[in-house]
Amino acid sequence: MKTATTALFVVLISLLGVAQNANWKPYVSKELGFELAYPAGYHQAELPCQIARSAATSGVQSLLYVKKGTGASEASIHVALDRRPFNMETLRSRASTGWEGPAQVEVGKYVFYFYGAGGGGVQYADRYYFNLNGRILSLVFDGPYASDSKSPSEETREVEERMLERFRLLNELRSGESAGGQPDHGKPED
């Protein structure tokens, strides 16, 4: 009986995972060789002028911009490619202070670099960076924010975690290779 109960529990957990994945929309970049997914509650939107200007002047290519909600409940996800070399100096230039190094976050077989809330009493988006063939792939999660917080909400943190878990390199999906057989995905040069 214990084995049957355990098997039923495993099946139910698997079905819950399938149901949760059904509510996510895929994003695939064959040109850059990666895929990810974002929640169905988000919709593709036009990049805000301030972000578009900043991206254009710094040579960053916007790949995906999605958002949900309005006003204080607005949340957005911006995926972009910075063609500058992926190294610690370039990542430090993206810090709110301009000098501190990012935290290293391992998700499955991938390594991301993270910046969250900074100082000064203002709100900061959660930003993750990934070494994509020697260039910087960024995933920026902005809002919503609680009135007393400098970081995005707990709901946004859950979206971040699930989105990073769904990130895959296409050449690994096709060949079945692990990250160990690929270029170093995340260890920047100092």
CA 147, distance to chain mean position in Å, is: 24
| pLDDT exceeds cutoff 80 at 13 | no
pLDDT of residue 48: 86
If you write DSSP's letter for every residue of 70-138 in order, what string do you get? Answer: -GGG-EEEEEEEEEEE-BHHHHHTTSSSSSPPPEEEEETTEEEEEE---STT----EEEEEEETTEEEE
Angle at 140 between CA 136 and CA 146, to 5 degrees: 155
**Averaged confidence pLDDT in the chain:** 80
Mean pLDDT of 69-74: 86
pLDDT in tens, 30-47: 999 999 999 999 999 888
- Per the model's pLDDT, the better-predicted residue between 75 and 95 turns out to be 75
pTM of the entire predicted model: 0.78
Report strand pairing: 24-29 vs 135-142. Answer: unpaired
- β-sheet with 168-169: strand ranges across: 24-29, 34-39, 168-169
pLDDT in tens, 150-187: 888 889 999 999 999 999 999 875 555 444 334 445 55
pLDDT of residue 38: 97
